[in-house]
Amino acid sequence: MIGYYILAGAIFLVSMYVSNKLKSKFKKYSKIHLQNGMSGKEIAEKMLADNGITDVEVISVAGQLTDHYNPQKKTVNLSEAVYMQRNAAAAAVAAHEVGHAVQHATAYSWLKMRSAIVPAVGISSKLSNFVIMAGLGLSFAGMALGNWVFLIGIGLFAMTTAFSFITLPVEYDASNRALAWLKDKNMVTPDEYAGSKDALKWAARTYLVAALGSLATLLYFISLFLGRR
């Protein structure tokens, strides 16, 4: 288990670095005020209209970096700062979340796949670590059942890892849609566009680190299982 703790510690440090970098980038680009004077809310509503989407509402939610698109309620949820502010960071986030709404409206395959497995992933993410620890405990106690319980736990964890990787094309595609719209519709200046692109790049890296960290942990569990056979 020492190897697992070392791996988990390394993943945690990398995740913290990317997270802090993301926050610093958004702070930096929050100082680049949009020449068009539009707020994040107005950016989002304009992109929705330009894509012919009329059944999605843009609303404000509490918190920082809590922005997301809710496909069930059809709402683009923007954090209070993004909703009200008029800068490159707000434009990037608002357009990115509308990118998810566009994916939903056009039945983007990766988004459909991710949405389909959300219920199963919700269960597996809650149970996987408990089942894995239980399996290891039973194995150390000399019970043959332990290996089977451990294997079930690995299967549950594999589902959450798969979800992390399915999320990657969804997030990258939403950012690409956002940046293309910002540029094609001349919504931002070259400097504002560069800031928006850099901010979204670091946001995407948080998902990449999470996926790679989950994969590394999964491979460790698999190697531990194979070593006990």
Q: Is 31 helix (H, G, I), strand (E, B) or coil?
A: coil
Angle CA 100–120–227, to nearest 5? 115
CA distances from 98 to 40, 81, 144 (A): 11, 16, 51
Q: Examine the pLDDT at 146 and tell me if it is beyond 80.
A: yes
Containing 62, the helix (H) or strand (E) segment is none
pLDDT value at position 1?
Answer: 60
Annotated catalytic residues are 97
Q: What are phi and psi of 34, to 5 degrees?
A: -70, 135
- Given pLDDT bands bounded at 50, 70 and 90, which one contains residue 64? confident
pLDDT value at position 4?
Answer: 67
- Length of the chain (residues): 229
Q: Which of 50-54, 84-88, 96-100, 144-148 has the least mean pLDDT?
A: 144-148
Q: Residues 105-139: pLDDT tens digits?
A: 999 999 999 999 999 999 999 999 999 999 988 88
* Short-list 7, 12, 41, 43, CA closest to 192: 43
Q: Examine the pLDDT at 228 and tell me if it is beyond 80.
A: no
* Short-list 56, 42, 52, CA closest to 91: 42
Q: Residues 12-47: pLDDT tens digits?
A: 898 899 989 998 998 999 899 999 999 999 999 999
Q: Where are the alpha helices (DSSP H) in the chain?
A: 2-29, 40-50, 80-84, 88-105, 109-140, 145-184, 190-228
pLDDT value at position 108?
Answer: 97
Q: Which residue ranges make up each domain of the chain? A: 1-227
Which position has the higher pLDDT, 11 or 186? 186
Measured from the Cβ of residue 62, the count of other Cβ atoms closer than 10 Å reads 8
pLDDT value at position 229?
Answer: 58
- β-bridge partners, 76: 58, 69
Paired tokens of 116: 């389909």
- Given pLDDT bands bounded at 50, 70 and 90, which one contains residue 140? confident
pLDDT value at position 123?
Answer: 94
Q: Percent of the chain scored above 90 by pLDDT? A: 77
Only one residue has tokens 């194995």, namely 139
